Structure 1
Amino acid sequence: MSLVGDERGQAIQIGAVLLFGVLIISFSTYQAFVVPDQNRGIEFSHNQEVQSQMQDLRNAVVSVGGIRGSQAVSVQLGTRYPSRVIARNPGPPSGSLRTVGTTEPAVNLRIANAQASGETGDFWDEDQTYNTGVVRYTPSYNLYTSPPDTVYENTVLYNRFPSGDLTLANQTFIDGTEISLVLLNGTLSETSTRSATVDVRAESSSTQTVTLDDDGSPITITFASTRSADYWTFLENTQSSVTDVRPAGSVNGLSLVTVELDDSQSYQVQLTKVGVGTGVTDEDTAYLTDISGDGRPVSQGESIALTLEVRDRFNNPPDNATTMQVTAEVAGSGSLQSTTQTPDEDGQVTFVYEATGTTGDQEIRFSYVGIDSDFDATTPQDVSMTVDVTSGSGGGDGTAPAFSSGPTASPSTVTAGTNFDLTATLDDVGNGGTDITGTSWSDGQGNSGTFTADDGEFDQPTESVSDTGIDTTGWDAGDHTITVTGTDGNENTASATVTVTIEDSESSPPSVSSLTVESTGTGMGSSQNVNGLDFDYEFTDESGISTVTTTASNSDIETVSDTQNAGGSSPYANTPSLTFGNTQSDISVTVEIEDTVGNTLTCTATITDKGQTRSESGGGFTCS
């Protein structure tokens, strides 16, 4: 049999070449379209995760007030693509986290036209300026085009897109007449594909507030912002204490914004300095003020405690408090048990004056820079206190104790079913000198309770007392006059009142400003699958939004949910996502919004295919 001229093998060779060509084309298509699409989705999901972590960072910063110590927050700056056997990935995307303006004196917050009473007014007799700045996260992705920078400033967190801004967490520094200013200090600058740990440190913090009034012109707060004054004008509509918001120029590429406050109000101001990164500066003593004892009577032969406090310019205990000394001298008659004291960690010192001399007003002088011929009680470092020495036998002859501070209710207006605190300080020094033995309260409407001593035991002539977390469930709406009664060791009692207003809890549920959900997935036609939901919403509520929970469920994926803590913000906007395994079944979507007093709004929709969008404005959501 002859094989000469047989050409049957050519078909096999041609088929192999064609098959190889098909493989090359398929791989090229996979590399050119599938891999970038998958990696783009990974970058988008990473950006959503970073926004959540920046929320955590923002919450850590704004909650530092009154807390000592630090809190670590992790931010995943970049991400990595999944390993691929044949196809290639681009280099891993990175991101940068840095502070802006925190070391530049020109980038600051200024409080103008404010004054305080008493010795504290010696410091608050001029405008006060505090350096602060911005924390900005900037991603560097390969495929996700035009991602937002996520920016924290002045208690606000927002996404900055090329086309506009989207607020993620609203301001908390103005709440009626309560002003809580959080100032950033330190340098943070890190670029990486890995995570960065940010230590949020309380550099100057306490629960101390200072009462400020205007000095004849309205109090103004001027601060640097990456957003223009036009954005901040919402304060005029949401805060009754804000009368004007206006531009005040610019500095180092940032807008200066001035907020003017109602001059008919007094304001409780709390200042907190938060350190991030390196180069955080210390805060030394800025002024000395009196706390208790000034102007009090004391009988000859008895003694009285005089308490003072050193503070930094944030009105908090200074860093050098426990390494400094306060000196004292009697300018009249009588004596002191000691003439020098070292402040405790709260910045307080207590001197005991003994009425061993003549009757009448006796001056006692104090200073943290030493007392000499230049002593001036009108300066921040010097304080003058007076006691009224009266004739009398002393020894606890039936004189009732006195309230040296309080009673105070915080807050003084609450919604029925929520809590409030009562605090007071009772003093029996100079009024018999026995220990305070107990304190109680009653509103005359069937509600009552007892206080506990802040130091754990009623065993001193001067006691700071409190009753915290008083539950108002079942209380009638309206004003409640609460009588606080303190008792000393001779069974003498003193009473004082404070008013707490209970508001009806039947308030409106949250409302929807905008709400959309879009499904993501794979496949085409009858083979398409849904594997994720992207939400974009904004809600408002008169008491503030507490939480927003998004849920997706069906028989395939069961239930997948995500809860965002809004922290009482209103309006509250966010863009969370849910991811789950592929499903071709209809998906029930639920969004539940709860406000800070327990009112809820529930919105439901149904997703049937990938790429679908449901919106509340378009009737895709039913809310009740």
Structure 2
Amino acid sequence: MILFGFLIVALGVYQVQVVPTDNANVEFEHSQSVEGDFGDLRNDILRAGSTGSTGSTQVQLGTRYPTRTFFINPPPASGSIETEATGSIRVRNATIGEGAHPNVGRFWNTTPTFPTRSLRYDADYNELDDTPELVYEHSVVAAEFDDAVLLRTGQTVVSDDRISLTTLTGSVSQSGVEPRSVDPRAVSASGTTVPLEPIDGRITLELPTAVEDAAALAERWNDSLPPNATARNVTGNVQITLANGSDLPYRLALSEVSVDASGETEPAYVVPVGPESATTGETVTVEVRDRYNNPVPDATVIFEGTTDDINITNETDDNGRVYFNANANGLLNASINGTNGPDYESISFDIGEDGGRATGNRTFNVNWDFSNITIGNTAGPTAGTGTVDVDGNLLDNATVDFATTNSTVVEVANTSTVTDQGDFSEMLIPRSGGTATIFAASGDDVDRLQVEVISQGGGETMASRSEITSAETTNGVGSIVDFTIGTSGSEDVVITGLSVDYAAGTSGDASRINNGGGREIDFSSAGFFNAGGGQSFLVLGDEVNFEADGSGGANEIVTGGETTTGTLAEFQADGPGNSGGPVDMGGETLEISLVFGDGSRDTYTINVS
């Protein structure tokens, strides 16, 4: 009887002390996992805004406790995720800089604002009461405690002389225990940047926030901003003030991302692509843009002639552009949203036998002075020069449009300029190590300038902040290998490519990685690489670029200080077609070379367990 009494007491002590402690550990692990989910969701939102891609992130809303035979658990811990309307982003004390078409400035002078929302996660734990609510807004994930605010990610709003603003729209409201998917979709991706210059003081960015202690949040923003920017709390908003004195204007990139597949981009203004005069019979090109300065596909453009009865309606292509063959002399007007709107909704072309320029069959020749150049990433803006001629005669006052294939490597200071007695010049702004092509287009010709940016000093590279810490086989035959990458620092690490091979001095039976149409490389966030299936696979020793090679892929973005796991599926021996058998990689030593978004790279030797 006494022993039975002791047993009852022991069971009671276990129920009161051990069960709550174990459940608190379950809740803590869940809170850490949700922070990882929120970081992945943040990356998907930013990727959608910058590239137009569509992502999907699962957020584990709640958690269940382990089953106990003789003890009582509380109900499963639930969580909720929902959007909150916070107000509009505003850019003050700024005007459109030189190099942009006047219509860009005319629309900007209407003082557009950009409504946005925040995304909040909150858990209802049974034991823990000091876990933070998580808030995503303006590229950061904030952890909101009762008495403090911390940032769990870096910010991408301000970087040197670039401003990147992504509005969040749509509505999400879900609660429960099971995982729920949030699917960010680009309504307007930031394919175009415009120059921005200060007026009447310094440029300020007003960012509405759902965080209750906006003053504490502003302090955290100050820790994350570059030296040319400061943040403070102004009437419950975070206000970022940018320093003046740059030799070049800021470049503004705007985008809108929806979390519920709603939202459509609307035409706001038009710009010409090329000259605003043309010879009869030539084609003129119009680009329609939305309030975020990005091209609008399927927009209706009305072409009207002043000296004939032309009244034709066309729609823009996927690049937001529409083309019209001008067959009559006089003014040709292209407009959107009807024909009597503001100046920025239309553009006029002067059509004539000489188009206001030289007569004859106008074959343009656009030539950069060099076919390729190499600059350091710390060199600052570098001039690229060239000429435009027609039939060997240098062409004065010709419009030259510029574009880059990779703005993370090198940006163009202006999207267009005009020639001075046939000569043009464009400032190239190096961003990070890598290569990019700069296009110069005028009339019916385009020339390419290959730019290589070399990483030089100036702080730690992404490679120096990354390390492969472990690798192991994960299937029965050992042909699938998972490897873990750890990072340090507060800035994101972007992985753009890799190669895999046996370590020097070792060899094995595997010659390729082939997943039969599935992903040969798959990361725990959104990064992946698909060789394409069939006769396509990843050959050991060959380097692949996730987004440029194969049939599909995406860069892996890792929040600084966090880890990611990559899966290689699966290692095979040679065989006709797809007949190569799986190879057990357990015990092998591999060399995995990673390529990063800043142009840095490193090779890691790792033993597979």
Per-residue deviation, residues 442-496 of structure 1 (Å, max 9, x unmatched): xxxxxxxxxxxxxxxxxxxxxxxxxxxx9978x9xxxx9x99899999xxx9868
Change (3 A) 1:288 1:599: closer
Per-residue deviation, residues 34-67 of structure 1 (Å, max 9, x unmatched): 2111111111111111111111111111111244
Counterpart in 2 of 1:112?
A: 92
Counterpart in 1 of 2:336?
A: 368
Hey, what's the Cα distance between the residues in 1 that align with 2:303 and 2:442?
Answer: 31
Counterpart in 2 of 1:288?
A: 270
Per-residue deviation, residues 115-160 of structure 1 (Å, max 9, x unmatched): 3332222211132211112111111111123111122111011322
1:312 to 262, 287, 290: 290
Letter in 1 for 2:314: Q
1:164 to partner: Cα distance: 1.9
Q: Tell whether the 8 Å contact from 1:167 to 1:573 is kept in structure 2 after alignment.
A: no
SS class of match (1:88) = coil
Are 1:352 and 2:325 matched, yes or no?
yes
Q: Tell whether the 8 Å contact from 1:245 to 1:260 is kept in structure 2 after alignment.
A: no
Q: Tell whether the 8 Å contact from 1:132 to 1:184 is kept in structure 2 after alignment.
A: yes
Change (3 A) 1:270 1:408: farther
Letter in 1 for 2:166: V
2:162 to 170, 174, 178: 178
Hey, what's the Cα distance between the residues in 1 that align with 2:122 and 2:181?
Answer: 16
TM-score by length of 1: 0.60
Counterpart in 2 of 1:28?
A: 12
Q: Tell whether the 8 Å contact from 2:61 to 2:80 is kept in structure 1 after alignment.
A: yes
Moved more, 241-250 or 60-69: 241-250
Change (3 A) 1:512 1:540: farther
1:108 to partner: Cα distance: 1.3
Letter in 2 for 1:249: T
Counterpart in 2 of 1:91?
A: 75
Per-residue deviation, residues 305-347 of structure 1 (Å, max 9, x unmatched): 21112222122244xx52x521122346x997x8321112332
Are 1:44 and 2:17 matched, yes or no?
no
Change (3 A) 1:263 1:284: farther
Letter in 1 for 2:257: V
Letter in 1 for 2:283: A
Are 1:327 and 2:302 matched, yes or no?
yes
Q: Tell whether the 8 Å contact from 2:42 to 2:136 is kept in structure 1 after alignment.
A: yes
SS class of match (1:41) = helix
1:165 to partner: Cα distance: 2.6
Counterpart in 1 of 2:360?
A: 394
Counterpart in 2 of 1:517?
A: none
1:275 to 244, 248, 258: 258
1:415 to partner: Cα distance: 7.7
Hey, what's the Cα distance between the residues in 1 that align with 2:438 and 2:67?
Answer: 70
Hey, what's the Cα distance between the residues in 1 that align with 2:167 and 2:40?
Answer: 17
Letter in 2 for 1:108: S
SS class of match (1:292) = coil
Which one has the largest radius of gyration?
1
1:223 to partner: Cα distance: 1.1
Structure 1 stretches of 5 or more lacking a match?
1-16, 417-421, 432-469, 514-536, 548-561, 577-593, 603-624
Change (3 A) 1:349 1:511: closer
SS class of match (1:380) = helix
Change (3 A) 1:91 1:218: same
Trace 1:455-494 onto structure 2 (pairs within 5 A): none
1:79 to partner: Cα distance: 0.6
Change (3 A) 1:146 1:230: closer
SS class of match (1:97) = strand
Hey, what's the Cα distance between the residues in 2 that align with 1:189 and 1:538?
Answer: 33
Moved more, 217-226 or 26-35: 217-226
Counterpart in 2 of 1:123?
A: 107
Hey, what's the Cα distance between the residues in 1 that align with 2:29 and 2:456?
Answer: 43
TM-score by length of 2: 0.61
Aligned pairs, how many?
A: 448
CA RMSD of aligned residues (A): 4.9
Hey, what's the Cα distance between the residues in 2 that align with 1:427 and 1:306?
Answer: 19
Percent identity, aligned pairs only?
26
1:218 to partner: Cα distance: 3.1
Letter in 1 for 2:254: L
Hey, what's the Cα distance between the residues in 2 that align with 1:391 and 1:290?
Answer: 17
1:234 to partner: Cα distance: 6.8
Hey, what's the Cα distance between the residues in 1 that align with 2:168 and 2:239?
Answer: 17
Q: Tell whether the 8 Å contact from 1:568 to 1:595 is kept in structure 2 after alignment.
A: no
Counterpart in 1 of 2:57?
A: 73
Change (3 A) 1:394 1:271: same
Q: Tell whether the 8 Å contact from 1:77 to 1:194 is kept in structure 2 after alignment.
A: yes
Counterpart in 1 of 2:244?
A: 262
Letter in 2 for 1:270: A
Counterpart in 1 of 2:204?
A: 220
Q: Tell whether the 8 Å contact from 1:188 to 1:277 is kept in structure 2 after alignment.
A: yes
SS class of match (2:183) = strand
Change (3 A) 1:141 1:485: closer
Q: Tell whether the 8 Å contact from 2:487 to 2:493 is kept in structure 1 after alignment.
A: no
Trace 1:526-545 onto structure 2 (pairs within 5 A): 539-540=488-489, 545=493
Letter in 2 for 1:282: E
1:430 to partner: Cα distance: 13
Counterpart in 1 of 2:349?
A: 385
* Greater per-residue strand proportion: 1
1:241 to partner: Cα distance: 7.5
Hey, what's the Cα distance between the residues in 2 that align with 1:205 and 1:315?
Answer: 10
Hey, what's the Cα distance between the residues in 2 that align with 1:154 and 1:238?
Answer: 13
1:200 to partner: Cα distance: 1.1
Counterpart in 2 of 1:618?
A: none
Hey, what's the Cα distance between the residues in 1 that align with 2:192 and 2:371?
Answer: 14
Counterpart in 1 of 2:533?
A: none
SS class of match (2:79) = strand
SS class of match (1:389) = coil
Are 1:504 and 2:456 matched, yes or no?
yes
Hey, what's the Cα distance between the residues in 2 that align with 1:216 and 1:429?
Answer: 47
Hey, what's the Cα distance between the residues in 2 that align with 1:406 and 1:188?
Answer: 53
Change (3 A) 1:114 1:428: farther
SS class of match (2:110) = coil
SS class of match (2:55) = strand
Q: Tell whether the 8 Å contact from 1:328 to 1:366 is kept in structure 2 after alignment.
A: yes
